[in-house]
């Protein structure tokens, strides 16, 4: 009874406090922060500041023992497994397709097999994909820049290496694209935002350096929603290849759109809160969001130090495994990144894995929802699937991820707000970064720190729920799992599950324990071997 009374008192106080927020309140607070906002900016901020008060009151209802620490460092520790050699498989009987356009949807393994049989050169393959980018890039509004000169140099090098008997692995000679928040010497790195459309960062991002070392060929830098939000960038809106009237979602907008349309075999994206999963779901890609810290982010734009992750967007789980095997690890320039083993076995018997489904999240779906067909397909194939309760709204009771992203992103873009660079942004609505950064500057340090302490509890509960299973199946957007697993750092694999009634893709998400991508991707490969969803491509781009 005392708790209920306290709760009502706190909520009542927050409602009263909401009514007291005025223009003069914001002006006074901004003075304390050495900032100055104009009347229009303050008017846009006030509704968000009122919403924040409600979320603070929800947090204040949750007890925090003095012994609870904060997840500020967010450096996850892998086990001490030794990296083993991966035995990649090639098809010795492969032939060039009768219709050359079919190459657009060949897997990395198929393209690598053609290269090794000398049925095509990397230079020819690179020209083929660059021509597709030139043909369809404007249609999809998915390309910031074509890196043709770099691509031809790297393709020639790959061909020379093949001639000399040098084989760097399955990515050698394979074209790909980068989300344009990764720095590459000699290119513009625009972050998708008008204030930075001419920005040149003379640095090679870690992920680009690793792919270059693997012999992959950079053909383009793809669009992202401005400063890694959504699918609107300074040049327009990236399109969904299944329906050009719709956006691709984001923020890895161009990476997903281009890969699904067959403009590249794969691309690299990033995620803070759904930026790999959401466009993969929307466009029908297979997107891997790895464990937090499994890939160094050096040379990439920072949005949130404790949340940003790098991952591949592909058309199959095996392609994602192939790419991840070459980009995981660290250059010691990212304080959160570690070297963790990735012992993927293309021939693993996945029926030995312990598989579960998030029953409490599935039960919220309609009985006709497409997600149920995933469980039925796996059970029909003889996979035993156990029900489990995934931490959901009972654990995630306030806008935890909003406060983390808000505080960290506003700090990362301090000068952007302080020097009014935000005025140059193409979009200026209530839900865009300029307003989000402004209102986030009012998040008190105490509330941010206590959010991070609640995050520590969330990590413990999620690890506890996951520990008895190798893979957990969940709707991609069911309950709070997307926010929760981004906060806890767990890896996720988003896979297509066919088209909905509107003719656009749907998806399912598989989760795994920290640094267990090999189990996640092996199971993803198996699921795609017993279904054909990953083999469906948009007609317009065939």
Q: How many whole angstroms separate alpha carbon 227 and alpha carbon 275?
A: 12
Q: What is the DSSP letter of 140?
A: H
Which pair of tokens denotes residue 379? 């059970």
Task: Give me the DSSP letters along 88-111.
Answer: ----TT----SSGGGGGG--HHHH
Nearest to 141 by CA among 206, 220, 28, 77: 220
Question: Which one of 251, 325, 336, 476 is the catalytic residue?
Answer: 251
Nearest to 313 by CA among 338, 342, 282, 348: 282
Nearest to 264 by CA among 125, 169, 139: 125
Nearest to 513 by CA among 457, 479, 465: 465
- Is residue 180 within 8 Å of 141, Cβ to Cβ? no
Where are the extended beta strands (E) located within 198-285?
Answer: 217-222, 232-233, 236-237, 239-240, 243-247, 267-271
Question: Which one of 122, 248, 255, 275 is the catalytic residue?
Answer: 275
HSE-CB of 507 using CA atoms within 13 angstroms: 26
Instruction: Based on the residue annotation, tell me whether 22 is a catalytic residue of this protein.
Output: no
Which pair of tokens denotes residue 497? 């599950």
Instruction: Based on the residue annotation, tell me whether 529 is a catalytic residue of this protein.
Output: no
- Cα distances (Å, whole numbers) of residue 331 to 35, 95, 334, 457: 37, 39, 7, 30
Residue 420, burial from CB neighbour count under 10 angstroms (0-12, 13-18, 19+): middle
**What residues have CB less than 8 Å from 47, skipping those under 6 apart?**
430
Question: Which one of 179, 221, 309, 480 is the catalytic residue?
Answer: 179
Q: What is the DSSP letter of 498?
A: E
Phi, psi values for residue 29, rounded to 5°: -65, -40
Phi, psi values for residue 512, rounded to 5°: -140, 170
Instruction: Based on the residue annotation, tell me whether 239 is a catalytic residue of this protein.
Output: no
Nearest to 316 by CA among 128, 169, 521: 521
Active-site positions? 179, 251, 275
């Amino acid at each position: 009874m005392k708790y209920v009374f306290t709760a009502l008192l706190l909520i009542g106080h927050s409602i009263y406090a909401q009514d007291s927020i005025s223009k003069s309140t914001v002006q006074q607070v901004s003075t304390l922060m050495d900032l100055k906002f104009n009347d229009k900016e303050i008017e846009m901020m006030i509704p968000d500041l009122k919403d924040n008060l409600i979320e603070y009151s929800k947090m204040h209802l949750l007890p925090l023992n003095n012994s609870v620490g904060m997840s500020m460092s967010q450096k996850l520790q892998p086990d001490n497994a030794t990296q083993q050699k991966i035995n990649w498989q090639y098809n010795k009987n492969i032939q060039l397709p009768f219709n050359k356009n079919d190459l657009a949807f060949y897997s990395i393994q198929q393209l690598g097999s053609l290269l090794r049989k000398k049925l095509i050169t990397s230079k020819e393959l690179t020209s083929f994909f660059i021509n597709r980018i030139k043909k369809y890039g404007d249609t999809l509004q998915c390309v910031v820049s074509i890196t043709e000169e770099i691509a031809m140099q790297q393709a020639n090098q790959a061909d020379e290496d093949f001639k000399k008997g040098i084989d760097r692995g399955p990515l050698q000679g394979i074209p790909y694209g980068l989300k344009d928040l990764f720095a590459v010497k000699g290119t513009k790195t625009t972050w998708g935002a008008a204030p930075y459309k001419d920005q040149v960062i003379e640095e090679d991002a870690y992920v680009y350096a690793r792919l270059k070392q693997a012999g992959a060929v950079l053909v383009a830098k793809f669009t992202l929603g401005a400063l890694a939000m959504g699918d609107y960038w300074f040049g327009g809106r990236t399109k969904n290849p299944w329906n050009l009237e719709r956006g691709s979602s984001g923020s890895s907008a161009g990476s997903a759109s281009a890969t699904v349309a067959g403009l590249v075999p794969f691309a690299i994206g990033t995620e803070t809160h759904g930026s790999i999963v959401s466009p993969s779901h929307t466009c029908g890609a297979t997107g891997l969001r790895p464990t937090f810290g499994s890939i160094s982010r050096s040379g990439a734009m920072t949005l949130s130090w404790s949340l940003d992750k790098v991952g591949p967007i592909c058309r199959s789980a095996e392609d994602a495994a192939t790419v991840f095997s070459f980009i995981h690890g660290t250059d010691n320039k990212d304080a959160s990144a570690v070297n963790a083993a990735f012992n993927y076995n293309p021939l693993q018997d996945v029926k030995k894995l312990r598989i579960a489904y998030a029953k409490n999240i599935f039960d919220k779906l309609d009985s006709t929802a497409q997600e149920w067909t995933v469980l039925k397909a796996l059970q029909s194939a003889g996979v035993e699937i156990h029900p489990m309760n995934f931490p959901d709204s009972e654990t995630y009771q306030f806008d935890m991820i909003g406060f983390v992203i808000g505080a960290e992103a506003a700090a990362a873009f301090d000068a952007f707000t302080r020097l009014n660079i935000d005025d140059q942004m193409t979009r200026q609505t209530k839900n865009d970064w300029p307003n989000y950064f402004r209102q986030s500057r009012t998040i008190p340090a105490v509330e941010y720190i206590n959010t991070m302490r609640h995050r520590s509890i969330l990590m413990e509960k999620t690890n506890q729920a996951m520990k008895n299973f190798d893979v957990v199946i969940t709707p991609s957007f069911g309950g709070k799992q997307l926010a929760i697993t981004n906060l806890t750092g767990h890896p996720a694999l988003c896979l297509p599950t066919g088209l909905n009634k509107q003719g656009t893709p749907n998806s399912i998400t598989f989760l795994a324990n920290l640094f267990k991508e090999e189990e996640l991707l092996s199971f993803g490969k198996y699921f795609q071997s017993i279904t054909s969803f990953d083999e469906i491509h948009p007609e317009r781009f065939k």
